[in-house]
Structure 1
Amino acid sequence: MTFFRSGRPPRRPRSWAITGLLVLALISLAAVPSGYVIQRPGAVFDVMAEVEGEPVITSSDLKTYESESRFDVTTISLLGNRESNPNWIQVLFAWADPDQVVLPLDEVFPPSKTTAEVRAESTAQMEISQQDAIAVALGHLGYEVPRRLYVNAVVADTPASGLVIAGDFVISAGGVKVQTFEELREQITKTEGAEMELTVERDGRLVQLKLAPQPRDDSYYIGAMVGYTYQFPKKVELQLGDVGGPSGGLMFTLGIVDRFTPGSLAKDNHVAGTGTISGEGNVGPIGGIRLKMIAANRAGADLFLVPEGNCEEAEGFVPEGLAAVSVANFEEAIQAVENLNAGKTFPALSCKN
């Protein structure tokens, strides 16, 4: 008589081998760098509050006022850098998560720059953005803010390299006096690559330089990074801890106006947003708009200010329960806040044609 043992048949050696291979594969995926970085919704910072125990906005020259409004700078959390990037398991999970974005490492950290250099550049962008925000806010408050066009950096191996130096004040281009970045760009584009004369002020004296702009996309460039230096009539100081990049400009500007104006600019509403701010008050696009809207929604914002240049990217992706409006400049941002104060209903975000 033959007897059979009841229960599960013994596992075959082949099954153990397959399981072992899968485990080894997972271990390998967890150990091998991916060459990607992962972006996630980051922290939000209320510019009307304190960071690390210190007010974000202060002044030794202007009277400050308490406010019930909240103006949030939104950020992106970045996992990975050139020295240490996520493993493949983290990348695979991020690809499957709509609240995360996977980007090639070189797109965020160019091979020509170290992680430290990228971070230093981000810090410099934040400082420039804050200066522009102070200038626009003081102008909105009725102060005259003289400014000058100057060179803050020169890109290597470009027409400006070896001729223009950081700290030069730009006086004229192609024989035409220029006072704004737009005027300078217009004169550079007009050359269509022909040699032009650029006049700068260096150490108190005028210097004439000759260079030929190079084509780039549908325009021309010289390789000088230009910004504004301001003569502020009142001292305003901003600090936001370890946050870099230029994208807080718009929200800083709103916060400065609120801090030095009686009452609450947005009443007791919670406004979040993003966008650079130029010396003329124009709001510029930034990266990661969808992730920043998620961060604002998680923080409980009532309204999100979307730069006009990011509108198409944001359209259709505004989180449920968050109102969003596209703004091209600071005055449109102020109008949006006033509409919020008046209790107006914001339609679904729709981009201008």
Structure 2
Amino acid sequence: MSIFSEQDPRPLLREGSRRAGWALLAGTFVIAIVLTLLPAPYVIDRPGPTYDTLGVVSVDDEEVPLIRLVDQPEYPERAQLRVTTVTRVGNPNALPSWVEVVQAWFAPERSVTPVDEAFPPGISVEDNREAARIDMENSQQEAIAAALSHLDIDFESSLEVAQAVQGGPSEGVLQEGDLIVRAAGQRVGDVTALRELISDNGVQSPISLEVLRSGEIRSVEVIPRMSEGQAPIPVIGVLVAGRYDFPLQVDIELGSVGGPSAGLLFALGLVEKLTQEQIAGSLRVAGSGTIAANGDVGPVGGIRHKVFGAADAGAEWFLVPRENCGDVAGVSPEGVTVIPVDTLSDAVDALELAMSDQELPRCD
């Protein structure tokens, strides 16, 4: 008797291989479905919409100027001066899927950040939104102040405490409605100046403040703490709003956009509207940067996303705070020239150079 089977084993092997293949395919499909449904502990940033500060926006289904001068002459303009934004996908209450995160990792115009870095523990989504709203309001006020300063138009300014953050170093010391007159012995009239004095003071010793409360000047002290997030800085735990007495009324509408990074383009748009000779001609310009009342331009986040957003909107020039030059290294969407600036005056000068086709500053 033969110890070997006379039956050909190959059909059985082929059938087993087919079954294994189908099982592997089914398993892969199940894993893909699970990854699609499972939330990932990250948020995704991508280019957001852009808004022309010389154009119109929709408010309650009505088209209104983004920047409007009330009872003031406006000079005609042909340029586009576009505010760029970043759209964030996800928050601690609504995380993106793993599939979305993996796709974002391979997209040059997107970035992925751990949710705990984007939304530090102890700070709610609502707190983030409220802080962004106040930053936007301050940005608009400081942009108007910067534009008027650039045009040598006088105005008065002060700082008002909008909220002392619960559990922060100013809780029980500063109150809503306090007007901050001095910090570290120096008179302050804008948010940027106050932030710089707090940063210079550090967190090892208290900073002295003089506030106007109920008609009386009071002296208080607050020990700053380091903020949470990716770039910690000394803070005193208050939301402060700039209060200005301008000689003209300026209305700025930008819907639900928050944060301080539109300040530079707000200021440029206002200078263009108030200047008889056009500062931007018919240029298509976009950009981002904080603005101080004295015209200083500060760094912002999401510059890489914003450059791609500017390219999508057809911008030819992108104004970037010089401190953000490192963030755009190697990022060069076709047709967009990046111009670094330190001040509002630098930005105005750069636009004049671009109009006359002269050599422009570049990031080192």
Counterpart-to-counterpart distance in 2, 1:263 and 1:111? 50
Alignment match of 2:303 (pick from 274, 289, 299): 289
SS of the residue 2:70 aligns to: coil
Aligned-residue offset at 1:39: 1.1
Deviations 1:16-49 (A, max 9, x none): 2111111110011001000111111111111111
Counterpart-to-counterpart distance in 2, 1:128 and 1:187? 18
SS of the residue 1:12 aligns to: helix
Matches within 5 A, 1:17-28: 17-28=23-34
- Percent identity reads 34
Q: Does 2:281 align with 1:272? A: no
Deviations 1:31-76 (A, max 9, x none): 1000111111111111111111111111223112221011000111
Q: Counterpart in 1 of 2:161?
A: 151
SS of the residue 1:37 aligns to: strand
Counterpart-to-counterpart distance in 2, 1:110 and 1:89? 24
Q: Counterpart in 1 of 2:215?
A: 204
Counterpart-to-counterpart distance in 2, 1:321 and 1:117? 39
Aligned-residue offset at 1:120: 2.4
Q: Counterpart in 2 of 1:37?
A: 43
Question: Does the CA-based 8 Å contact 1:137-1:257 persist in structure 2?
Answer: yes
Aligned-residue offset at 1:220: 5.5
Counterpart-to-counterpart distance in 1, 2:104 and 2:194? 44
How many pairs are equivalent? 348
Question: Does the CA-based 8 Å contact 1:70-1:268 persist in structure 2?
Answer: yes
Counterpart-to-counterpart distance in 2, 1:79 and 1:315? 25
Counterpart-to-counterpart distance in 2, 1:24 and 1:190? 56
Aligned-residue offset at 1:106: 1.9
Structure 2: which 5+ runs fail to align?
Answer: 1-6
Change in CA separation of 1:20 and 1:219 when aligned onto 2, cut-off 3 Å: closer
Deviations 1:104-157 (A, max 9, x none): 112222332332332222122111101111111122233101112333333333
Counterpart-to-counterpart distance in 1, 2:20 and 2:199? 71
Question: Does the CA-based 8 Å contact 1:149-1:227 persist in structure 2?
Answer: yes
Alignment match of 2:115 (pick from 105, 124, 137): 105
Counterpart-to-counterpart distance in 1, 2:53 and 2:338? 19
SS of the residue 1:106 aligns to: helix
Aligned-residue offset at 1:214: 5.1
Question: Does the CA-based 8 Å contact 1:42-1:292 persist in structure 2?
Answer: yes
Q: Does 2:188 align with 1:179? A: yes
Counterpart-to-counterpart distance in 2, 1:235 and 1:179? 23
Counterpart-to-counterpart distance in 2, 1:101 and 1:196? 37
Deviations 1:180-219 (A, max 9, x none): 5547854884587345643211121112224445578998
Counterpart-to-counterpart distance in 2, 1:212 and 1:90? 42
Aligned-residue offset at 1:86: 1.0
Give the root-mean-square deviation of aligned CA atoms: 2.9
Q: Counterpart in 2 of 1:74?
A: 84
Q: Does 2:356 align with 1:350? A: no
User: Which piece of structure 1 moves more, 228-237 or 313-322?
Assistant: 313-322
Q: Does 2:175 align with 1:165? A: yes
Counterpart-to-counterpart distance in 2, 1:293 and 1:235? 32
Change in CA separation of 1:303 and 1:128 when aligned onto 2, cut-off 3 Å: same
Structure 1: which 5+ runs fail to align?
Answer: none
Counterpart-to-counterpart distance in 2, 1:195 and 1:46? 43
Q: Does 2:260 align with 1:246? A: yes
Counterpart-to-counterpart distance in 2, 1:210 and 1:171? 13
Question: Does the CA-based 8 Å contact 2:43-2:88 persist in structure 1?
Answer: yes
Counterpart-to-counterpart distance in 2, 1:345 and 1:185? 33
Counterpart-to-counterpart distance in 2, 1:23 and 1:184? 53
In structure 1, give the amino acid aligned to 2:46.
R
Relative to the length of structure 1, the TM-score reads 0.88
